[in-house]
Structure 1
């Protein structure tokens, strides 16, 4: 449980952490390892590694395209394990995926495989209610935390069931749209929702989806324990990888300079 403890320590610090999402398997393993090194040096506090899925329903076009490129290359599980192992050697690392690949490869097998690679946890964003107990048991047995994505539309009466059995963190999407959303954020609604989550569970709260600029990240930071950015990084890595580090550094600086200020909602 050492890796899960590192994650817990990070998310319970006063400073809002910066998480960086990276889809596994888009590039060759040596290239992806160099990318992870660069992102860690540029300010990433934790990594979220995406296990590619053929139908990522909550993702926008860019991340869908990245997943499809990875699937086309093949050896997705091996590439993901290698990405997780290297990422976890640098920063606390959580895997993000959908139920379809978990079901296909077997929850118990996949949980053990990724835990052995060094993952601190694994978030199944579309976890079916009737598979929740099985997945939580598999994750717990492997020593993985099991973060839960909780939709903002979840009613107060449904919150206890939504957070039951979750561990590691609760994920509160900043936008109700898909990943890659670049419009305005309803920060008042996000603030209200994060307060509801904190009332329902002692777990840290993490937010991502639609945090498309450093300015937005700075405004979300006072509401949560970590901000995760994905599309801005994936966009750089798919076209010209060089700017990805500077993008990460700009987001990291925005979170650092926000320390001690009041939420602007």
Structure 2
């Protein structure tokens, strides 16, 4: 069993709430990345999702889009991020969240080879359909890197079962139809949707997109193992409120 699968599954079996905060790598400068990771690790995060800046982030809302542009303006690239990660000393599993284009441009074989010398234990690629997972899956088979699937509100039950069976690490359940961002209204049928995914999955199911309050976490905890928190964390870090971000992760983990 791979590290991400093992650690998150252990938390689920222990009844712990799994919190995975998202940060845009390099939005505050790559020299701040290790400190941001340390802060969230000490706050009790189960893993940390690292966004790779990209010029056309189709699933990202305004806060994360702006953070990606901030990173790009500072000359942040995937190559530079990997070099920082190769020097990083942390025990927490990191998960790269990237669109396929930057990874493909870098070279998928080279990417997998270089990530094996880092704390990266997972990949999330929103625009990589299940049918095209063959681009990456064979390269990851002999590694400690999990390919995490996303399940949408509109995903049919048959496909949910397929995705949960084949997926690794955890199941990322997208809680809204649309892009990321705070202030979202969740549909009434969302809870049953999440319960169904968790029922058919032997891996933790984490709800994401729009999670911004401890009350959100409490709600989702009724249906699944935890949450991914993106825009709220990204905004707090941009405002220099890293301590508030850490407090939120700590409080959410205690739900």
Q: TM-score if structure 2 supplies the norm length?
A: 0.88
Provide closer, same or farther for how the CA distance between residues 224 and 154 of structure 1 changes in structure 2, counting only shifts above 3 A. Answer: same
Aligned-pair distance for 1:88? 6.7
* 8 Å CA contact retained: 2:2, 2:144: no
Counterpart-to-counterpart distance in 1, 2:168 and 2:141 = 9
Alpha-carbon deviation of 1:199?
4.0
Residue of structure 2 equivalent to 1:10: 11
- Residue 134 of structure 1 corresponds to 135
Q: Where do 1:144-223 residues align within 5 Å?
A: 144-163=145-164, 165-186=166-187, 188-223=188-223
Match of 1:249 among 244, 247, 250: 247
Greater mean alpha carbon deviation, residues 19-28 or residues 70-79: 70-79
Aligned position for 1:66: 67
Structure with higher helix content: 1
Q: Paired residues, what number?
A: 254
Does the 8 A contact of 1:24 with 1:79 survive in 2? no
Asked whether the equivalents of residues 172 and 208 of structure 1 are also in contact (C-alpha less than 8 Å), the reply is: yes
Task: Name which of structure 1's ranges 195-204 and 15-24 shifts more when overlaid on structure 2.
Answer: 195-204
Query: 1:71-123 CA deviation, whole Å, 9 max, x = no partner?
Result: 23224123322554577714222111111112212222212322321211111
Partner of 2:146, secondary structure, is: coil
Per-residue CA distance 1:11-48 (angstroms, 9 max, x = gap) = 44311111110111223333222222222233323211
Contact 1:47 1:87 in 2 (8 A): no
- 1:38-77 to structure 2, matched below 5 A, reads 38-77=39-78
Q: Which runs of 5+ in 2 are unaligned?
A: none
Secondary structure of 1:206's counterpart equals: strand
Identify the residue that residue 116 of structure 1 maps to in structure 2: 117
1:159–1:31 Cα change, 3 Å: closer
Task: Tell me how far apart the structure 2 counterparts of residues 82 and 190 of structure 1 sit (CA, whole Å).
Answer: 40
Is the contact made by 2:98 and 2:126 (CA closer than 8 Å) also made in structure 1?
A: yes
Is residue 221–residue 255 contact of structure 1 (8 Å, CA) maintained in 2? Answer: no
Question: Where does structure 1 differ by over 6 angstroms across 4 or more consecutive aligned residues?
Answer: none
> Which ranges of structure 1 fall in alignment gaps of 5 or more residues?
259-265
The DSSP-based 3-state class of the residue aligned with 1:142 is coil
Q: Cα gap change, 1:59/1:86 in structure 2, threshold over 3 Å: closer, same or farther?
A: farther
In 1: Cα distance, 2:97 partner to 2:147 partner: 10
Offset at residue 7 of structure 1 (A): 4.0
Are the aligned partners of 1:49 and 1:83 in contact in 2 as well (CA < 8 Å)?
no
After alignment, is 173-182 or 87-96 more displaced? Answer: 87-96
Provide the rounded CA distance (Å) in 2 between the counterparts of 1:84 and 1:214: 30
